[in-house]
Amino acid sequence: MSAQNLYQRFRGTVSRRIVAIGIRYGKRWLTRRGRANILIPESLAVIGHVNAIEYDCTRAGKTVKARHVFAPGSRPVFAVGEGNGELFLLGTRYRFTDRGIVDFNASGEAIDYHEDSGRTALLKGTL
């Protein structure tokens, strides 16, 4: 799914441009460089792993609460910079899709994690 479609689905309006993003830590690129890049500061403190995230988003013009519990192997690292607003979720085993946040196993397959049972299953449907 393109960034434009994601933006439209979660904000209810169409974005005029698609943004490709790369991530840099210090002087080293962690992902392939894109047209727009996020600069991760050289002074970065790793706090720990993120177990879950909750956020408000807009779907079909309505504000809804969203919650995602990361599968144990997919949990991103929570890091902070020295400046205001420098909070980062760093990892490679999750992605934001039209479904919201989706975890991936070590084989790159989309998985669904059930918080109550602690079990994971392959995610049904397409991404």
Span 85-106, mean pLDDT? Answer: 87
Beta strands (DSSP E) in 4-127 are: 21-25, 28-29, 36-40, 44-49, 52-59, 62-69, 77-81, 87-90, 94-97, 100-104, 110-114, 119-122
pTM of the model: 0.67
- Computed over every residue of the chain, the mean pLDDT equals 78
> Domain residue spans in the chain?
3-122
Predicted confidence (pLDDT) per residue in 27-56, tens digit: 666 665 554 456 667 778 888 899 999 999
Six token digits for residue 107 = 């084989």
